[in-house]
Amino acid sequence: MRRAISSSFSALTPLQSLILRRWRPQWVCSGCQQTYRRKLATATSKPKPYYITTPIFYVNAAPHVGHMYTMILSDVLKRWQELKQRQSILVTGTDEHGMKIQQAAAKVGVPPKEFCDRGAEVFKDLAKRINISNDVFIRTTDQRHREAVEYAWQMLLEKGYIYESKHEGWYSVSDETFYPQPQVQLIVDPPTGRKIMVSIETGKEVEWTSERNYHFRLSAFRDKLLAFYAANPSFIVPRTRMEDVVSQVTASLGDLSISRPVERLTWGIRVPSDPSQTIYVWLDALLNYTTAAGYPFTPGCEMSGGWPADVQVVGKDIVRFHCIYWPAFLMALDLPLPKQVLTHAHWTLGRQKMAKSTGNVVNPFWALDRFGVDIMRWYLVHEGGITDDADYDNRFIIEKYKKHLQGGLGNLASRIMRGKGWDVRRAVQRYAHVKGEEHPAVSDGTDTDGRRVYGRIRALPRQVDGHMKDLHPNRAVQALTKAVADMNGHLHQASPWTAVTRLQVIAADTTGNEMHELSKAGQSPEDLEAEIERTIYLAAETLRLVGLMLQPFIPASAKRLLDMLGVSEERRTWEWCQMGKDDGYGTPMVELGKGEQGVLFPRLTSEF
């Protein structure tokens, strides 16, 4: 390694060597170093926080629904950990360097930094509007990030992983990357009819470029990457993309150009040892995940800020950067790798990928104004794809809302909590089995369907948690939706209101005929009452468990549901997500109202 380090320095000009030796980032003032280190050392005694990231979003154009989907997926995963009372950190932010930003700013006639400031505010506003619980919003123009990137460059250079060379290849300005010959193809551009070379992966135009710049020895990490993939088969979700990445790395892994001449790209972080070069935007951008966690880390305190990431959420179009380049950079820097990368599919519009460059997008702010936050959160997770793309259509949102939220969960809540002839609180007191009886009374009824329903409700938390552990929030929320539909079906079949009516008739009957008929059937009024309360309790428990588990997905609506059920604030964590665990609910904390007033999911004001 010493030979590699000395050779990397010998390749520099005398001026570059002088700049490198003099340059050091000033992380903390010398007078504060000891205090800072003591604080970090204290922090390391605590368990590592659950650390999750969204990609940082490019500010060259306004966000679309696809960006909103990524944010919501990440937020759901973070809130699920918080439901389990684990400290969690969610990082999002904006990518603000590179050729696309430079060109977009020039097009509107404003300095790049001012252009980035405006764009960052839009993404911050979107995160706030959709109730994202992010702890950090990082920008690649932040001074702390710039210093971290410069520090990482120095480490890579000193370790011998950076060298200068002439580079020729197909370059995409849109993707900010070079593509090897096998990854480009000649097509006829439909709008113009001209023949152009494009990336096979993204469809973006490429141009042949020849220039001198710095390279990262990516090829040196081929075997290490393959060994890591083999040892961590669930590193990339879903498995199909893991297989694609392994295939790509197995086939070939050339070195990576990691700088651009300043005369072509001025907007970015300059190479510390060579001001004539600008650091490649993807090397710059990927380091944000560690910057947000406190990189460069104080020795012994590396995990206090959350790194390594537990999950990094990205779209399928940037898998190569996050699952090949990023792990290799981390290996070169001797930093731990993320535990998992969730690579989700795209939202399409008219079966075409949403893209800012083509204008084929859905404005997320318009969607939020029309349907509301929780409806959009629920719909995007419920219908969005992890493996396969999903097509966006306002009619689908309305249809799914009516069926599953208004007609499903909202209807069940109203039927139980606003129904007449039974007392939910009394049913809870009668059937909750907080002592964990092996054969609780609620499952002892003679009705086979009722016992089957009890078993499904009891297994629901484990089922949903399994989907969340597998990084499939869509399957988790679909399981909750199905549980509600099943309970509505059982409620219709059990028809407790019919038993209520029969009890009322018996009470009003002076002849005793109704009581006699009931006795002939082998039942008593007490049996009917027990049957009613058993059914109501099963429905109420379904609502309680679903409400608890929906908190990460639709926080405001889940809170409203739990308030309607009367679940106390201190009993809304995963600890209480067990069948029969809570015996204290059943008395509403809010006014339930009548008719449309007070319902959980009212009719949409506009359905067209």
**What is the distance between the alpha carbons of residues 309 and 482, in angstroms, rounded to a whole number?**
32
Predicted confidence at residue 502, as pLDDT, reads: 77
Name which of 78, 102, 80 is nearest 88 in CA terms.
78
- Do 456 and 483 contact (CB within 8 A), yes or no? yes
**What is the distance between the alpha carbons of residues 426 and 417, in angstroms, rounded to a whole number?**
12
**What is the distance between the alpha carbons of residues 222 and 218, in angstroms, rounded to a whole number?**
7
Most distant pair of Cα atoms in the chain: their distance: 112
Predicted confidence at residue 105, as pLDDT, reads: 95
Chain position carrying tokens 């039927």 = 415
Predicted confidence at residue 22, as pLDDT, reads: 39
Predicted confidence at residue 607, as pLDDT, reads: 57
Averaged pLDDT in 10-residue chunks for the chain of 608 residues:
37 42 40 42 70 96 94 98 97 95 94 97 97 97 97 97 86 76 83 84 82 94 98 97 96 92 94 95 96 91 90 96 98 97 94 72 93 97 95 94 96 92 93 70 67 92 98 98 96 87 76 71 77 93 98 98 97 96 95 79 74
**What is the distance between the alpha carbons of residues 207 and 204, in angstroms, rounded to a whole number?**
10
**What is the distance between the alpha carbons of residues 477 and 14, in angstroms, rounded to a whole number?**
61
Q: What are phi and psi of 606, to 5 degrees?
A: -135, 130
Question: Can you name the residues that pair with 386 across neighbouring β-strands?
Answer: none
**What is the distance between the alpha carbons of residues 448 and 497, in angstroms, rounded to a whole number?**
20
Structure token pair of residue 264 = 């072509």
Task: Give, rounded to a whole angstrom, the gap between the first and last alpha carbons of the chain.
Answer: 66
**What is the distance between the alpha carbons of residues 31 and 28, in angstroms, rounded to a whole number?**
8
Report CA torsion sign: 82, 85, 86, 87.
positive
Give the burial class of 420: count Cβ atoms within 10 A of its Cβ; 0-12 exposed, 13-18 middle, 19 or more buried: exposed
- Do 65 and 380 contact (CB within 8 A), yes or no? yes
**What is the distance between the alpha carbons of residues 78 and 551, in angstroms, rounded to a whole number?**
11
**What is the distance between the alpha carbons of residues 547 and 565, in angstroms, rounded to a whole number?**
9
**What is the distance between the alpha carbons of residues 315 and 99, in angstroms, rounded to a whole number?**
21
Domain 49-373 is in which class? alpha beta
What is the enclosing helix (H) or strand (E) of 91? strand 88-95
Sequence ranges of the domains in the chain: 49-373, 393-576
Predicted confidence at residue 80, as pLDDT, reads: 98
- Do 36 and 26 contact (CB within 8 A), yes or no? no
Q: 10 Å Cβ neighbour count for 61?
A: 16
- Do 336 and 297 contact (CB within 8 A), yes or no? no
Name which of 322, 338, 466, 341 is nearest 48 in CA terms.
338
One-letter amino acid identity for 326? W
Topology match between the domains 49-373 and 393-576: no
**What is the distance between the alpha carbons of residues 248 and 320, in angstroms, rounded to a whole number?**
9
Predicted confidence at residue 11, as pLDDT, reads: 44
Give the burial class of 330: count Cβ atoms within 10 A of its Cβ; 0-12 exposed, 13-18 middle, 19 or more buried: buried
**Under 8 Å CB-to-CB from 413, ≥6 apart: which residues?**
543, 561, 564, 565, 599, 600
Predicted confidence at residue 172, as pLDDT, reads: 82
Name which of 209, 146, 143 is nearest 175 in CA terms.
209
- Do 100 and 172 contact (CB within 8 A), yes or no? no
Pick the CATH number of 393-576 from 1.20.120.550, 3.20.130.10, 1.10.150.110, 1.10.730.10: 1.10.730.10
DSSP assignment string, 579-602: TT---S--S-SS---STTTT-SSP
The three-state DSSP-derived secondary structure of 533-546 is HHHHHHHHHHHHHH
- Do 181 and 303 contact (CB within 8 A), yes or no? no
Mode of pairing for the β-strands spanning 236-237 and 177-179: unpaired
DSSP assignment string, 253-317: ---EE-EEETTT--SSPEETTEEEEEE-HHHHHHTHHHHTTTSSPPTT-TTTT-PSPSEEEEEGG
**What is the distance between the alpha carbons of residues 367 and 354, in angstroms, rounded to a whole number?**
15
Helix (H, G, I), strand (E, B) or coil at 355: strand
- Do 488 and 527 contact (CB within 8 A), yes or no? no
Q: What are phi and psi of 109, to 5 degrees?
A: 75, 35
**What is the distance between the alpha carbons of residues 307 and 573, in angstroms, rounded to a whole number?**
25
**What is the distance between the alpha carbons of residues 69 and 77, in angstroms, rounded to a whole number?**
13
